[in-house]
Each structure stands twice: as C-alpha cells, then as structure tokens.
Chains A and B, each alone.
Chain A
C-alpha cells in the first residue's frame, strides 16, 4: 500500500492568516508517462461528507475558492489556504490516486480558528 502521512494532525490559525497542510506519500505518485502527480485533496466540514478541492496535486475543482492551492511533486505535497475564513474550519485529507491497490487517504489534518 502507498501510505499517506499528513502533518500536522491539527493546527489553529487566525482568521485571514495562512494555513499550510503537508502530505507525504511512501512512494512517488508522479507518473513518468504524463508527468502528473496523482494526488487529491478533500475538505470535510463537521457533520458533512468530504468535498473534493484539488486533483492532479494542483488542479482546483470548479467552484473551489482560489484561496485553496495545492503544490508539490513526487512524494511531498502541500495544501495551502492563503487567507483562512471561518467556513474553512474542517478536517482536510489527501488521497493518492496513483494506484487502486488500494486507493489510500491520509489520516487527516484538523484546521481550527485561533
């Protein structure tokens, strides 16, 4: 299995400040054939299902605010919220879609307001 490790487990950020979440995969999720990173990010607000934010490591899903951005390559990835809003309080998950043997998610990072 490709193990996805997120850090930190939780962070508290002031409104309007930057939040940075890290995700590390146990093996590269970069494809040599198309030069794409098979990494997605989700937001799960309290009591809600996950919502897709980003795929291919940096492609924003339509409708996702541009304060959310994804970066990284190979085994190290970052989700950045450039200016935290109250509605961004949630748990964020990364997921590798490089292989279905199996598809794996990170353990989640909880973002709270400081």
Chain B
C-alpha cells in the first residue's frame, strides 16, 4: 500500500522560505520512472502543479516558479523535500505531495495517485 504524508509549518511570514517534507512508504525512489510531485490548492480554488522528482533524478519545475522552488529526495529516509523561497500571502494554500506511478505493463507518465492528505500553509505577518 502506497501512502504519503506532508509535514511542515502551518504559518510562515512573507519573504520567508517554506520547507515541506513528504514522507512516503510503499515504493522506492532509488531509480526509474516512479516519482513524487508537489501540487498546491489555494482555498476554494483549483489545483496547481509545482514540481516533480523521479527515481532517476529527473527534476521538473513549474516554469513561472522555477526561481523559487527546489525539490530534493532522500532515498534512505523515503522523503522528498520541497522548498519555496520568498513566500507571499498569495502562496497560501494546501500543499499536497503525490505519487507519480509506473503502472505494470504500461508507460510511466505524469499523472498522480495516490495523494497525501495535504498540509495547509498560511502566509501572513
């Protein structure tokens, strides 16, 4: 069974750097096309993809946020860490990490399931 759980601060001040950790189980990020993505959802709004890291160390970022994001993995701890710098109130959202699967007998690609429960991050002074 694959599970993911996000952890990090619930409140950050403007201009601070947010660090979120995704701790997962049920799969490995040692190699291959399996991966973990980060997606956020402002209150009452739609989903916005942020970043993706694969077992083969491929990394992709949302271009408009590329300068503010860093995604890393620690395979020994089964964790993926996302940092977002220069936080602003518009970054207030629930932040989700999610599994990027490789179905048996099919190609891998960038859909996500399952997802963690999410963590609400509020940016306010």
CA distance A17 to B115 in the complex (A): 29
- The answer to whether B114 touches A52, judged by C-beta atoms less than 8 angstroms apart, is yes
| Closest chain A residue to B113, Cβ basis | A52
Main secondary structure of the interface of B (DSSP, over half): loop
CA distance A32 to B30 in the complex (A): 31
- The answer to whether A102 touches B115, judged by C-beta atoms less than 8 angstroms apart, is no
Number of interface residues of B (CB under 8 A): 25
Q: Shortest beta-carbon distance, A55 to chain B, in Å?
A: 4
Choose, from A20-28, A73-81, A82-90, A104-112, the stretch at the interface.
A104-112
- The answer to whether A103 touches B116, judged by C-beta atoms less than 8 angstroms apart, is no
- The answer to whether A105 touches B47, judged by C-beta atoms less than 8 angstroms apart, is yes
Q: Is B90 at the interface (CB under 8 A from chain A)?
A: no
Give per-residue flags for A11-46: 1 if the beta carbon is below 8 A from chain B beta carbons, else 0.
Answer: 000000000000000000000001010101010000
Residues in chain B within 8 A of chain A (CB atoms)? 37, 39, 46-49, 52, 60, 62-64, 96, 98, 106-107, 109-118
| 9 sample A-B contacts, Cβ–Cβ < 8 Å, listed by A number | A40-B112, A49-B114, A50-B39, A50-B115, A51-B114, A93-B46, A101-B63, A103-B110, A105-B48
Nearest first, the 3 closest Cβ-Cβ pairs linking A and B are: A52-B113, A49-B115, A97-B110
Residues in chain A within 8 A of chain B (CB atoms)? 34, 36, 38, 40, 42, 49-52, 55-56, 59, 61, 93, 95, 97, 100-108
